[in-house]
Amino acid sequence: MDSHSFHTSSNDKDQSIEEVLETSIQIEEDLMRTYLITAERVHEDAELKERLENFAEGNAKRTKQLIDELKKKE
């Protein structure tokens, strides 16, 4: 086995990082939607509804941060 079989080029590394960021954005957006939909269905527990909305807000902030990081890579 030669020594460069474990070496990845800078372009491969950047592409891999971009893929991770894009996948993470999708996950955060999916979670945000799930929390918001669930919060809309909660009628009997105002505290739970608020916590779910706060979770969604956190996902929105992380999504924005991930998008900003992805833009830096371009």
Would you give per-residue pLDDT tens digits along the chain (74 residues)?
444 444 455 677 777 999 999 999 999 999 999 999 999 999 999 999 999 999 999 999 999 999 999 999 87
- Give the Cβ contact number of residue 70 at 10 Å: 16
Domain annotation covers residue 54: yes
Kindly state the tokens that stand for 51: 């916590």
pLDDT at position 6: 45
Q: Is residue 35 part of a domain?
A: yes
Instruction: State the residue range of the domain holding 44.
Output: 13-73
Residue 2 in domain: no
Q: Confirm whether 7 is domain-assigned.
A: no
Number of domains in the chain: 1
37, 52 in Cβ contact below 8 A? no
- Would residue 1 count as lying in a domain? no
This prediction has a pTM of 0.76
* Domain-located, residue 20: yes
Element housing 22 (H / E): helix 10-41
Residue 5 counted as domain residue: no
